[in-house]
Homo-oligomer: A and B are copies of this chain.
Amino acid sequence: MKVVLAKDILKSNDDKAAENRRAFEKLGLFTLNLISSPGSGKTRLLENTVQRLSSRYRIGVIEGDITTTRDAERVARHCEQVVQINTDGGCHLDSKMVSRSIEELSIDKLDVLFIENVGNLVCPSEFDLGESCRVVVLSVTEGDDKPEKYPYSFDRANVIIINKIDMLEHTDFDMARAEEIIRQINRDAVLFKLSAVTGEGYDAWIAYLENHAFRKK
């Protein structure tokens, strides 16, 4: 019974995600779904990224949180179109929530849409939102064993970002080992190593976004 219903939920989510994807593709809108543990630095990454792109690209953000509008407020400083989704305890965003949110945005006037998922390295991975690109963020303070322990998140990522590299010297995170494990799980993902604090590694990430958002400009 439980399994049947779970399949129904996922099927219904996939259908709506396909609908979202068609709408995004029709507009040539590059959409990114950001997934990570709480506190791995998604919001700060987003703030800095939007700040760097906002003079040249029209950017929208959907902020997913269990409660509070803190992240949306932070991002809104650098970006005009922001929608907050509060899941009220829910552990992930789904494609229906995103579908309702894009009705509140003028997505035909956007070049890039970021969707910051609920801070959770497990459940969001099951739910396609219709995004063009799935980004999984891992911070070095979480430990280099996380890709191996949460493989179902890492194996579906198009982009994997190792964040907080400025903290490397204060941890026992082994970058070579982390990369090796990531490559065993996901050979194709584009990998970025960066620090939102020092700005190190951002240029490659920004260049990647520009290459993909370029379609529309």
- A contact residues vs B (CB 8 Å cutoff): 1-2, 5, 9, 37-40, 65-68, 70-71, 89, 91, 118-123, 139, 141-143, 145-146, 148-152, 164, 167, 170
Contact = CB atoms under 8 A, between A and B. Distances in A.
Contacts of A164: 141
B67 A149 contact: yes
Contacts of A37: 37-39, 119, 121, 142
A150 B90 CA distance: 11
B167 A141 contact: yes
Q: How many copies does the complex hold?
A: 2
Contacts of A39: 37, 139, 141-143, 146
A66 B119 contact: no
B38 A142 contact: yes
A122 B122 CA distance: 10
